[in-house]
């Protein structure tokens, strides 16, 4: 459907980007409230400094931040640049999903997952904690779409997802237990392991290898870019692993299957 005509393609991508901006704003708000111990289901958006309730013109993704020059309309407090950055990132991520999967139920499922990945990454970056509620929502996203995407083969698809979840988490759990004993300290947080389990539900066990490699490489790159060490839960200056896992999951949604297929073809020639 996406490529029926140039006009239709432009229209779909524009709507997709706008939807991504809105849901990116929602993900950032949700992450901020969860990190602050507040409910994101109740109460209106407000300034974190003065508490003033924001009006609709203050909540237009990216545009409001630019119009206000990155400051609260009432108290002048700085609005973090990560707010429009998260909105733009989500818009780009949504477009990437549509380009990869067209206008399908699979796209809808991965849009929901993308919002949860972004929120999880933001909370982990702020608090070094991965909310169980977000991981349960990822599992619910996977479960909800099973009968819609795999009619007549729900059981096989469920087993495939569980195999991916176990392949992503169990070997890491064993490695972490060994490293904890050798290093005599925690080498990886339990939240990261649960994150890999929830993410693994969306992949075959073959694609999990791509996910693990991508997440580890991105973790190193993020740590180097921030001049912080990577993946040390006992070091308050360490770069949390959650954002790298989230980015690795998204990259795997786009590239894991074709990359693994190309890799396997090397051995079949």
Of 111, 84, 118, nearest to 96 by C-alpha is 111
**What's CA 254's distance to the chain center, in Å?**
13
| DSSP secondary structure, 133-158, as one string | HHHHHHHHHHHHHHHHHSTT-HHHHH
214-251: buried (b, 16+ CB within 10 Å) or exposed (e) per residue?
bbbebbeebbeeeeeebbbbeeeebbbbbbbbbbbbbb
More confident residue, 232 or 250: 250
For residue range 171-182, what is the model confidence (pLDDT) as tens digits? 888 888 887 777
pLDDT at 195: 95
Domain residue extents for the chain:
153-269
pLDDT at residue 49 above 60? yes
Task: Give the H or E element holding residue 99.
Answer: helix 82-101
Higher pLDDT, 120 or 82: 120
pLDDT tens digits for 102-144?
Answer: 999 999 999 999 999 999 999 999 898 999 999 999 999 999 9
């Amino acid at each position: 459907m996406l490529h029926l005509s140039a006009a239709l393609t432009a229209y779909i991508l524009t709507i997709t980007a706008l939807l991504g901006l809105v849901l990116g704003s929602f993900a950032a708000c949700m992450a901020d409230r969860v990190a602050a111990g507040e409910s994101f289901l109740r109460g209106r958006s407000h300034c974190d400094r003065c508490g003033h309730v924001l009006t609709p013109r203050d909540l237009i993704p990216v545009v409001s931040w630019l119009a206000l020059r990155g400051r609260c309309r009432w108290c002048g407090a700085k609005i973090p640049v990560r707010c429009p950055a998260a909105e733009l990132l989500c818009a780009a991520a949504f477009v990437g999903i549509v380009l990869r999967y067209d206008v399908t139920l699979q796209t809808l499922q991965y849009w929901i997952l993308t919002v949860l990945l972004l929120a999880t990454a933001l909370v982990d970056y702020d608090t070094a904690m991965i909310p169980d509620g977000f991981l349960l929502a990822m599992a619910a996203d996977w479960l909800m779409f099973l009968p819609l995407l795999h009619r007549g083969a729900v059981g096989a698809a469920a087993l495939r997802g569980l195999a991916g979840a176990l392949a992503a988490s169990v070997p890491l759990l064993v490695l972490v237990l060994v490293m904890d004993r050798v290093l005599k300290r925690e080498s990886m947080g339990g939240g990261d392991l649960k994150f890999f389990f929830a993410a693994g539900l969306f992949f075959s066990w073959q694609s999990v290898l791509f996910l693990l490699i991508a997440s580890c490489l991105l973790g190193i790159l993020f740590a180097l870019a921030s001049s912080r060490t990577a993946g040390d839960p006992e070091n308050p200056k360490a770069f949390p692993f959650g954002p790298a896992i989230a980015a690795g999951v998204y990259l795997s949604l786009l590239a894991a299957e074709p990359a693994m297929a190309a890799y396997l073809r090397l051995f079949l020639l």
